[in-house]
Amino acid sequence: MAGSSYQDDDEPIADINIVPFVDIILVVLIIFMVTTPLIMKPSINVNLPKSASGDKTEASKLAISISKTGALKLNGQPTTKEELGLYAKNILTEKPDIQAVIAADKDISHGDVVTIIDTIKSAGVKKFAITIDKK
């Protein structure tokens, strides 16, 4: 019997046991640490050109990325020009006023970007935006 920690059975427990609370918080922290990489949106590394002017664009279901090597991605998934054209035609039936958002590496040739723009415009997309980094 350690004097101050001895309690009579009739007295209420007045001490707060914080150990279970800390255990729960640590478990929640571990859950967040494990799930955060899964929640984060995967992206490809594209070195965008810089520009002083530019407006914000809305997120689009027609997001096209062209990497430095010329690899083409549609909404984060590898694709080809033919698949891009088919997808653009299909998405136009759902949303006729869709805007394509093109993120092309600054070192990619101008002709490659024009080819992608021509592919989506041939599919019927009337609006497109080119992604930049603000200066």
The whole domain housing 14 covers: 3-39
127 Cβ neighbours under 8 A, 6+ residues apart: 97, 98, 99, 100
- What pLDDT shows up at residue 36? 81
37 Cβ neighbours under 8 A, 6+ residues apart: none
pTM above 0.85, yes or no: no
Closest among 78, 66, 67 to 116, alpha carbons compared: 66
- What pLDDT shows up at residue 115? 87
- What pLDDT shows up at residue 1? 46
Total number of domains constituting the chain:
2
Residue 45 inside a domain? The answer is: no
DSSP 75: T
Residue 82 inside a domain? The answer is: yes
State whether 123 and 76 are in the same domain.
yes
- What pLDDT shows up at residue 27? 95
- What pLDDT shows up at residue 59? 65
What is the mean pLDDT of each successive set of 10 residues along the chain, which is 135 residues long?
A: 58 82 94 80 58 63 85 88 88 85 84 86 84 72
Residue 44 inside a domain? The answer is: no
State whether 62 and 117 are in the same domain.
yes
Residue 83 inside a domain? The answer is: yes
